[in-house]
Structure 1
Amino acid sequence: MYNTDIPTRAELPTSRQLLRSTAIAIVAAAAILITIVLPAEYAIDPTGIGRGLNLTEMGEIKTQLADEAERDRAAGQQGEAPAPAAPDQESSLLGRVFAELVIGSAAAQASPAGRTDEISVTLKPGEGAEVKLAMTIGAKAAYSWTANGAAVNFDMHGDGGGKTISYEKGRAVAESSGVLEAAFDGNHGWFWRNRTDAEVTVTLKTDGAYADIKRMM
């Protein structure tokens, strides 16, 4: 039985090399965050690159839906001042950005041959929810979802490794089905917004090659 030789001190990277690699990774991640992730997910485009590459449309849809929901809630409070964003909401947004940028690609490295899942999310008036599948490039998953007699706005999209894509979107849709093929390694799925004045339950069924299914928000 042969055991791998233990590397010598000379073969190990120095502290300076490790710090340099870490700094390069941080700069690259920051550049991807500012130029790609923020415009596509949150319509924040300080450099203008996201709009030039047509990446801000997805973020604009999400922020528009969120703004409409906030105005509806404020109007229903009859004179009460809208509450400011809670610290945990702000930190969760940063955490979600980090998860999609760094963790999303790693979670999709080993997709199984196939799995089947069913998940339901209940949305209050004005509320949104996002469910995604961790998939590798070229993986396919059959899906069907229904708003159970109601209608929702939706955006089917993907992100991971600094890349984003919008597959399909619609307003006041009662149900949808098809096959989702991942354009790259990462998280691919659906964002729904309830624009009705009653609770809506969205039920999603999936069957295909993906490593995990998770609710992002």
Structure 2
Amino acid sequence: MFNTKLPTQSELPTSRQLLRSTVIAMGVAAALLVTVVMPSEYAIDPTGVGRVLGLTQMGEMKEVLAEEAAADAAVQPAAAPVVQAPAPGQVAPHEQVAAAPVAEPVAEPVAEPQQALKTDEMTVTLKPGEATEIKLEMLNTATVSYEWATNGAPVNHDTHGEPYNGPQGYYHSYSKAKQVKGDKGEFTAIFDGTHGWFWRNRSNSDVTITLKTKGEYLSVKRVI
């Protein structure tokens, strides 16, 4: 048992002192909310203190990462269809005996667009956190060689293609990398569609990208 002396009435804080302490605590909490929490979590900096302390840049980076994660999730490759095995005793589709073919009129072949050999050069400038995309319209088995380079700052890139009228979110990636200053190579389209490059500037300064292409494509344009 502890023989602790109870405080006297005069030693206890008055109602005015408690109210004052509460007001001071609320003021400190509000100041921390405006100068620390809002800039670092939501990139909202009404006082400018967050940017001086480097907290606003942290909040802006979180917003960009969240947007990029959402964009990546929206373009995940579609799952390949599952082929079920035939039940026991059932003949597989490729083992079934085909019926006698019925003669049908032969249709005239449809002429495909002519793919002339093209050469182009395009330049784009990205601000910090900004992204862009340049696409070529190509037919199946068409080939293109390319080379691109920045003016010094590294960028993230993804070289990919999307088929005309393909499943939503489906794409085929030819190559990708993070924090690189250039890339060159060649790829062959595996379907009719748009094929090209996506870049995002993750640095703190503007970056200029120059792309050179040569090959069998119908057109080239910046889509973002």
Normalising by structure 1, we get a TM-score of 0.51
Question: Paired residue for 1:126?
Answer: 129
Counterpart check, 1:110 vs 2:113: yes
Question: Paired residue for 1:146?
Answer: 149
Contact 1:111 1:210 (C-alpha < 8 Å) held by counterparts? no
Q: Which has the higher helix share?
A: 1
Counterpart check, 1:194 vs 2:201: yes
Counterpart check, 1:205 vs 2:202: no
Higher Rg of the two aligned structures: 2
% same residue: 46
| Alpha-carbon distance change, 149 to 75 in structure 1, aligned in 2, over 3 angstroms | same
Q: Tell me the matched-pair count.
A: 123
Question: What's the offset of the Cα at 1:110?
Answer: 2.2
- Give the unaligned 5+ runs of structure 2: 1-38, 49-58, 60-70, 76-111
Instruction: Report the AA paired with residue 214 of structure 2.
Output: D
Question: Paired residue for 1:75?
Answer: 43
Question: What's the offset of the Cα at 1:183?
Answer: 1.1
Q: In angstroms, what is the RMSD of aligned CA positions?
A: 3.0
| Alpha-carbon distance change, 78 to 139 in structure 1, aligned in 2, over 3 angstroms | farther
Contact 1:138 1:181 (C-alpha < 8 Å) held by counterparts? yes
- Higher mean C-alpha deviation, range 141-150 or range 125-134: 141-150
2:40 & 2:114 partners in 1: Cα distance?
41
Instruction: Report the AA paired with residue 120 of structure 1.
Output: T
Question: Paired residue for 1:174?
Answer: 181
| Alpha-carbon distance change, 174 to 160 in structure 1, aligned in 2, over 3 angstroms | same
1:120 & 1:72 partners in 2: Cα distance?
34
- Give the unaligned 5+ runs of structure 1: 1-70, 83-92, 98-108
| Alpha-carbon distance change, 78 to 184 in structure 1, aligned in 2, over 3 angstroms | farther
Question: What's the offset of the Cα at 1:200?
Answer: 0.3
Normalising by structure 2, we get a TM-score of 0.49
Counterpart check, 1:137 vs 2:140: yes
Instruction: Report the AA paired with residue 193 of structure 2.
Output: G
Question: What's the offset of the Cα at 1:160?
Answer: 1.7
Question: What's the offset of the Cα at 1:76?
Answer: 7.6
